[in-house]
Amino acid sequence: MGQGSAGQERALVFGTTAEQYDAARPGYSALLVDTVLDYVGNASPRALEIGAGTGKATVAFAGRGLPVLAVEPDPRMAEVLRRNTTALPQVDVEVGLFEQWQRAERRFDLLYAAQAWHWLDPETRRDHTFDALVPGGTVALFWNFAPMVDPVLHREFTAIDADYGTELGRLTGLATEFEGEIEATEENGWPSVDFAGDPRFTDQRSVRVRNGRTRHDADAWLSRVATQSGVQILEPERRATLLAALRRVLDTHGAGLDTEWITDVFLARRLPEQTQA
């Protein structure tokens, strides 16, 4: 996470509400883990997790028996991460920015990042990823989305989001917009655009994992909204006004909402040694 300026500051804002983040954010489905591990093709890959946060993805992957080294830049998030992985002795936690992390001679079969790749320095993140992987090793980058089902709620939430500039697209998008395949553009920052011209990574794939529909009550959904970086960086009074406006809309429409649970994942493989020139 983090590039060392405004981007890094925003990336580290999650630590100010680490407990709320842990309680409100969703985890990662067995289907997502299956998708990644099927691609890896290794029975027990050694995994490196970048920007591990409070351990949502750490628990999902280490729960399959994988040894995981979790790198997290924020000590407050790392404290919760350690607590959440107490029952998983194969998890090691190191605190620090990926850009400054000391790899030494360690290399991994799998490097993954959950909701974190976009916080890394775009000038160096692929180089660090390449160096951290064994030849033929896998990079897996994924994000959860929770687009809403009701188009009326979508329209009203989108208007509020635009007024406040909070960039809540992952939570205020419309489910029907996610019915097709992943669209990769520079504007949406999908990693295939970043990796496309890099010959060190092959077998690149973009996969949309559909995990089903979820019903949220107003409190749970608003708690999740409050953990988004675009909301956390607002002044407290403006943040409270935003959340109150969203609650009024929810109260008008039955105090809850349905969303689809979607995880988009980018997969690529470091070129095997014998293929490199």
Tens of pLDDT, residue by residue over 123-163, are 999 999 999 999 999 999 999 999 999 999 999 999 999 99
**Per the domain annotation, does 184 fall within a domain?**
yes
Which letter, b or e, does each residue of 164-179 get, where b requires 16 or more Cβ atoms within 10 Å of its Cβ? Answer: bebebeebbbbbeebe
Segment 20-47 mean pLDDT: 90
Q: How confident is the model at residue 86 (pLDDT cuts 50, 70, 90)?
A: very high
Q: What is the pLDDT of residue 239?
A: 93
Q: pLDDT tier at 57 (50, 70, 90 boundaries)?
A: very high
Q: What is the pLDDT of residue 275?
A: 52
Could you tell me if residue 187 is inside a domain?
yes
Looking at residue 30, its pLDDT comes to 97
223 within domain boundaries: no
Range of the domain at 106: 6-145+180-213+263-275
Record the pTM: 0.86
* Domain count for the chain: 1
Dump pLDDT digits (tens) for 69-85.
Answer: 999 999 999 999 999 99
Q: Which of 62, 165, 173, 183 is nearest to 112 (CA)?
A: 62
For residue 174, being part of any structural domain is answered with: no
Query: Measuring CA to CA, which residue among 23, 22, 24, 26 is closest to residue 53?
Result: 22
Report DSSP letters for 142-210, one per residue.
EEEE--BS-HHHHHHHHHHHHHHT---HHHHSBGGGGSSPPP--TTTT-HHHHHTT-TTEEEEEEEEEE
Is residue 105, in this structure, part of any structural domain at all?
A: yes
**Band of pLDDT at residue 274, cut at 50, 70 and 90:** low
On average, the pLDDT of the chain sits at 89
Determine whether 123 is exposed, middle or buried from the number of CB atoms within 10 Å of its CB (0-12, 13-18, 19+).
Answer: exposed
Span 221-247, mean pLDDT? 90
All residues at 6 or more sequence positions from 214 whose CB lies less than 8 Å from its CB, including other chains: 146, 258, 259, 260, 261
Q: Which residue matches tokens 């697209």?
A: 169
Instruction: State the average pLDDT over residues 232-236.
Output: 90
In this prediction, residue 207 carries a pLDDT of: 97
Query: What value does the mean pLDDT take over residues 25-54?
Result: 94
User: Does the pLDDT at position 18 exceed 90?
Assistant: no
Closest CA to 232 of 4, 12, 6: 12
- Alpha-carbon distance of 129 to 138, in angstroms, equals 10
Mean pLDDT of 19-38: 90
Residue 160 lies in a domain: no
Q: Is 124 among the domain residues? A: yes
Query: Is 62 within 8 Å of 86 (Cβ atoms)?
Result: no
Whether 39 is covered by a domain: the verdict is: yes
The pLDDT tens digits of the residues spanning 168-206 come to 877 888 999 999 999 999 888 899 999 998 999 999 999
Neighbours of 54 (CB within 10 A): 27
> Residue 109 is inside which H or E element, if any?
strand 108-114
Phi-psi group of 258: left, alpha or beta (phi > 0 → left; psi -120 to 50 → alpha; rest → beta):
beta
What's the CATH number where 71 sits?
Answer: 3.40.50.150
14 pLDDT higher than 70: no
What ranges make up the beta strands (E) of 54-105?
Answer: 68-72, 91-95
Query: What was the pLDDT predicted at 16?
Result: 56
